[in-house]
Amino acid sequence: MKVMIYKRFERFWHWTQAALIIALMVTGFEIHAVYHLFGFEQAVNLHIILAWSLIVLWAFAIFWHLTTGEWRHYIPTTEKLMAMVRYYSIGMFRDEEKPYKKSLSAKHNPLQRLAYLGFKLVISPLIWVSGLLYLFYTDWPALGLEGLRLGQVAMVHTAAAIAMLVFFIAHVYLALTGKPFYAYVKAMITGYEEIEETKTPGKNS
């Protein structure tokens, strides 16, 4: 049965976040002198504007998840966790059937839940906090943060950015493992996907 599984705001948030993260990685790598595209000063200014845009988007996304009950889709579970590990490492290369069936009450498989939860609770906060500390470096004394070291904050920000890049690459790779290969991407664009049940979202997960 084909149903609307990804709501309008969810799709807007997903694709806008993807565009902002890509732009942040592009400007971030230029700031680290990996290549020359905009020039250091303009790359820094763009990076700051993009970062604030992403923070505003995340604030709206958090509010939306809390008020709609969509946060329940990220509750971790060990049920079929190892089966999904085996599927992604061996099964999908043998064209085996996927051990997890998506539903309206459980959009994400156990591995996705862990990955997305890690992204939301570990990688994103590290990016937020270290980036804001970096941005307001001159205000540290007034905030009582003299004990911090700029080099350590920069290292944490860079490490979190690299973790986000790894997550992004893995996410894109797995997004192209549908049947046909563009099935998951198409579902995230249209919102519609084939599922096996039609429970109310967030009520029984």
Three-state SS sequence of the chain:
CEEECCCHHHHHHHHHHHHHHHHHHHHHHHHCCCCCCCCHHHHHHHHHHHHHHHHHHHHHHHHHHHHHCHHHHHCCCCCCHHHHHHHHHCHHHHCCCCCCCCECCECCCHHHHHHHHHHHHHHHHHHHHHHHHHHCHHHCCCCCCCCCCHHHHHHHHHHHHHHHHHHHHHHHHHHCCCCCCCHHHHHHHHCEEECCCCCCCCCCC
Residue-averaged pLDDT of the chain: 90
Q: What is the pLDDT of residue 201?
A: 45
Q: Give me the pLDDT at residue 196, please.
A: 67
Cβ neighbours for 71, distance < 8 A, ≥ 6 positions apart:
65, 202
Query: Does residue 87 or residue 195 have the better pLDDT?
Result: 87
Per-residue model confidence (pLDDT) at position 197: 55
Residue 134 pLDDT more than 50?
A: yes
pLDDT over threshold 70, residue 166: yes
Give yes or no for residue 10 having a pLDDT over 60.
Answer: yes
Query: What's the whole-number mean pLDDT along residues 55-60?
Result: 95
Q: Is the predicted pLDDT of residue 200 greater than 90, yes or no?
A: no
Cis omega (within 30 of 0) on the bond before 180? yes
Give me 137's structure tokens.
């470096």
More confident residue, 46 or 1: 46
Angle at 74 between CA 71 and CA 78, to 5 degrees: 145
Band of the pLDDT at 2, cuts 50, 70, 90?
confident
Greater pLDDT, 146 or 15: 15
**Predicted TM-score (pTM) of this structure:** 0.85
Domain residue ranges of the chain, discontinuous segments joined by +:
1-75
Residue 204 has a pLDDT of 42
In which band, very low, low, confident or very high, does the pLDDT at 105 lie, cut at 50, 70 and 90?
Answer: confident
Using the structure block, give the residue that is written with the tokens 């700029």: 150
CA distance 109 to 32: 36
- Single out the residue of 136, 80, 142 nearest to residue 112, CA to CA: 80
46-55, 59-68, 98-107, 111-120, range with the lowest pLDDT: 98-107
Q: Nearest Cα to 60, choosing from 16, 27, 6?
A: 16
- What is the pLDDT confidence band of residue 178, given thresholds at 50, 70 and 90? confident
Please state which of the ranges 51-55, 68-72, 146-150, 200-204 shows the lowest mean pLDDT: 200-204
Give 163's pLDDT tier (boundaries 50, 70, 90): very high
Cα of 197 vs its chain's centroid, Å = 26
Residue with tokens 């979202």: 201
